[in-house]
Amino acid sequence: MSLRLRLLLLIGISLSLLWGGVTAWTLYNLDRQIRNSLDQRLSMSAQMVAGLISQNAAAWDAAAKGKKRDTLLLPAGKGLACQISSLRGEVLARTDHTHPNATRSETLGFTDLTINKEQWRSYTIEAFGLRVTTADRLSERNQMLHDVLFATTLPFMAALVGSLLLLWFGVRQGLLPLEKIRQALAGKAPQTLSPLSTQHIPKDLLPLVNSLNQLLSRIEQTLERERQLTSDAAHELRTPLTAIKIHLQVARITEGEEAKTALDYAEESVARLQHTLTQLLTLAQIEGDFCWDDGQSTSANEILKLAIRDAAPQQPERVQLGEIATAQLALPQALAVTALRNLLDNALNYSPANSVVRVETQHLESAICFSIIDQGPGLQPAELALVTQRFWRRSSTKGSGLGLSIVAAIAKRFNGKLELSPHKNGGIKATLTLPILR
């Protein structure tokens, strides 16, 4: 069910129930008031006749006690009948269109009578020894009620129909901004992920448009990462694949030591290719939506031990540890180890063979700063700005050029920070800030 139809049904049914309730209540009260007014008319008519009798009470008293005489016929208005009779039941006067029995009631007050299959409503009082009865036909009374109620209901029905029409127009106009958003999204080309305009957008729809724009931005970034990964892989894998091919061709056409050397070179190129592919996949998973949560919460000192074991398995003494914090890191163990191992790899590879790399930690309020200081040749300021870019490396060095890119990606994903700066004693100081569990 569409949103427009849902709104029309919900509000339309609510309006119909509201108008229906108001109409029913109005008709009920109007019916009761009209019936009371008609009964009051009968009562007042009888009392008025009794008042007229009181002005000539002696003559009416004599007539009531005298011999039987012809009934006096009196003119009357449409629908109203009146009869004056003695207490003995003798009719002294009545309206000329009234049935002789229509106003014959032995009961004082209001009474419903059925005479010749016709219903009457009568009212009877006694005054000055006489009985005064007024009555009207229930058929005429009901017809009048029907006419009044119909005339009253018609405006309500017209108001209900008008309200539903205005509701349809209002819902249509109210949902017009959503239709414009739909058209804007439908009109976008697959390669166009520019944000939607927020001009002339109602305040209530701004969060929706902003969320859509954020989604479009994330999709654009994802597609850009995929394009970048494809371009980088095509560029970086071409060299080791070519080297492997050449070395295998040399091994095929040669023999002895020369063939063995070619195979060794091919094996070295395979190792380089494998390392590059592993780094590329790791970087793609970190920057993508891959779930790294391994359920393990590891302390900072344990992470450092694992990273040193991977980076310097043969020479652990080259890594000098300062005071190490013991707080639990708020990121998966595998990624924390990867980030520190890459930093240690760089520091050890660019430092002299017999030099040491110093590692220090600083416990902040909500994070831990790992500082890794090497004794290498350092970097120029222009190179510091490029060092975290993919596949950047000095022309004279080996490696895939992805180590620091992976560290920066891990820090960004978990709201950390990677900073590289020249150390006062030479070399580079790499500071990695990672969040901790609270």
Q: Which of 335, 337, 357 is nearest to 347 (CA)?
A: 357
CATH number at residue 235: 1.10.287
For residues 421-426, give the mean pLDDT: 81
Task: Spell out a b/e string for 82-116, using b for 16 or more CB atoms within 10 Å of the CB, else e.
Answer: bbbbbeeebbbbbbeebbeebbbbeeeeeeebeee
CATH number at residue 305: 3.30.565.10
- CA dist., res. 149 & res. 161, Å (int): 18
CATH number at residue 141: 3.30.450.20
For helices 3-55 and 57-65, what crossing angle results, to 10°?
Answer: 80
**Are 97 and 60 part of one and the same domain?**
yes
**Are 142 and 48 part of one and the same domain?**
yes
**Are 17 and 148 part of one and the same domain?**
yes
For residues 337-358, give the mean pLDDT: 86
Question: pLDDT by residue (tens digit) across 269-300?
Answer: 788 778 777 777 777 777 766 665 656 667 88
Show which of 255, 287, 319 is a domain's final residue. Answer: 287
> Is the Cβ–Cβ distance between 312 and 336 less than 8 Å?
no
Structural domain span for residue 56: 3-162
Question: pLDDT by residue (tens digit) across 118-135?
Answer: 788 888 888 777 888 888
Question: pLDDT by residue (tens digit) across 357-406?
Answer: 888 888 888 888 998 888 888 777 777 777 777 777 765 556 667 788 88
Show which of 113, 144, 162 is a domain's final residue. Answer: 162
For residues 186-207, give the mean pLDDT: 80
**Are 14 and 113 part of one and the same domain?**
yes
* 171 occurs within a structural domain: no
Supply the pTM of this predicted model: 0.52
For residues 222-251, give the mean pLDDT: 77
**Are 274 and 316 part of one and the same domain?**
no
> Is the Cβ–Cβ distance between 236 and 276 less than 8 Å?
yes
pLDDT of residue 58: 65
* 197 occurs within a structural domain: no
* 186 occurs within a structural domain: no
**Are 134 and 31 part of one and the same domain?**
yes
* 178 occurs within a structural domain: no
**Are 256 and 366 part of one and the same domain?**
no
* 190 occurs within a structural domain: no
pLDDT of residue 68: 47
**Are 133 and 34 part of one and the same domain?**
yes
**Are 259 and 314 part of one and the same domain?**
no
> Is the Cβ–Cβ distance between 365 and 349 less than 8 Å?
no
* 128 occurs within a structural domain: yes
For residues 219-245, give the mean pLDDT: 76
Domains in the chain, number: 3
**Are 149 and 21 part of one and the same domain?**
yes
- Mean residue pLDDT of the chain comes to 79
Ordered strands of the 72-74 beta sheet: 72-74, 91-95, 80-86, 130-137, 118-127, 109-115
pLDDT band at 76 (very low <50, low <70, confident <90, very high): very low
* 118 occurs within a structural domain: yes
* 193 occurs within a structural domain: no
**Are 314 and 281 part of one and the same domain?**
no
**Are 213 and 262 part of one and the same domain?**
yes
